Amino acid sequence: MSNKPVFVVTHPRACSTAFERVFMTRRDTLKCAHEPFGDSFYYGPERLSQRYADDEAARESSGFSKTTYHDVLSRLGKDGSEGKRVFIKDMAYYLMPPDGKPATIVPSLRKSDDYTEEGNPTVIPLEILKQFHWTFLIRHPRRGIPSYFRCCVPPLDEVTGFKKFMPNEAGYVELCRLFNYLREQGIVGPRLAGESSGETTNGETNGKKEGQGVTITIIDADDLLDHPEPVVKAFCKETGIDFSPDMLKWDDEDNQKYVSDAFAKWNGFHNDAISSKSLTARTKAHKTVTDESENEEWRQKYGEEAQRVIRACVDENVSHYEYLKSFALKF
């Protein structure tokens, strides 16, 4: 089993922080890096996001205004030199330009001024992408997007600093683009997690580079919440991490402080995960919802215009979620 850094790539509000907390209990063997590429995506000289484009003060106060993508990778390399395996949780959209704009390798990672990589949707060279053990965490847009919207409007926006909801931060499109590229390059697949070596991915052989990549490991957040121990155990098997049931409990002062410090730079986004003490199977079944009942719920919480914005963003991303879901671990 490879000892490459495990990279859990996701989109906003995918229960990813709760999942990350599980692996923060293994500080004896793992070094966790919490959303490191957000530093360069939002604040640094190579920033791709427009969120703080006109707010130099916010970029400066973040402490990351000079952080390049090269700096982030150097930091991860240092983490990996400490004798522990690196565990990274981050957003796919931090690795590529918003709104489907063509990607070019960022200056700090180019081999030359005119260096390009045809077909690469990210700003990271392929030779670097190959250095990670890629995994994916997804959540249905009808739950993920309203949760993220809540962080970008009053009163929580005063805490998070995200003063408006930007649909291009939903992240589903970018997650699909990254996933497809990694498959095409043989970095993941063709086998699904849990399949024997004789089986194929969704009936496909994935052509060119069969057998060279790690298994496709996609976790659905609902499966994680319904079956936390089997899901975490299966993930550990695919990534070569020793599993222990104790990973699902973290009710101790030292771990709580460690997590609070790690999540501090994204204040307000992870309050539920910070205050949690364990990951246990939820006991309430999903309530039956319709578009109409969802619309009414969002209208009551956020108003008429916000409801339309949320609905449009959810509908736009359902097909991307369902595509990724077709590759997810089955429980």
Per-residue pLDDT at 121: 98
Tens digit of each residue's pLDDT (9 = 90 or more) over 133-185: 999 999 999 999 999 999 999 999 999 999 999 999 999 999 999 999 999 99
Residue 31 belongs to what H/E stretch? Answer: strand 30-34
Residue 311, CA distances (Å) to 14, 33, 125, 128, 299 in order: 18, 33, 35, 37, 10
Task: Give me the percent of the chain exceeding a pLDDT of 70.
Answer: 94
- Are residues 134 and 9 in contact, defined by beta-carbon separation less than 8 angstroms? yes
Please, are residues 148 and 166 in contact by the beta-carbon 8 Å criterion?
Answer: no
- Per-residue confidence (pLDDT) for residue 207, from 0 to 100: 39
108-117, 215-224, 269-278: which range is least confident on average? Answer: 269-278
Residue 172, C-beta contacts closer than 8 angstroms, at least 6 positions apart: 11, 141, 317, 320, 321, 324
User: Which domains does the chain show, CATH number per domain?
Assistant: 6-286+319-325 (3.40.50)
pLDDT at 264: 82
Q: How confident is the model at residue 198 (pLDDT cuts 50, 70, 90)?
A: low
Tell me what the mean pLDDT of segment 30-54 comes to: 97
Nearest to 170 by CA among 309, 19, 329, 325: 309
pLDDT at 189: 96
- Residue 109 pLDDT grade (very low, low, confident, very high; cuts 50, 70, 90): very high
More confident residue, 82 or 91: 91
Average pLDDT value for the chain? 91
Alpha-carbon gap, residue 195 to 58, rounded angstroms: 47
Instruction: Give the burial class of 95: count Cβ atoms within 10 A of its Cβ; 0-12 exposed, 13-18 middle, 19 or more buried.
Output: buried
- The crossing angle, in degrees rounded to 10, of helices 16-24 and 228-239 is 70
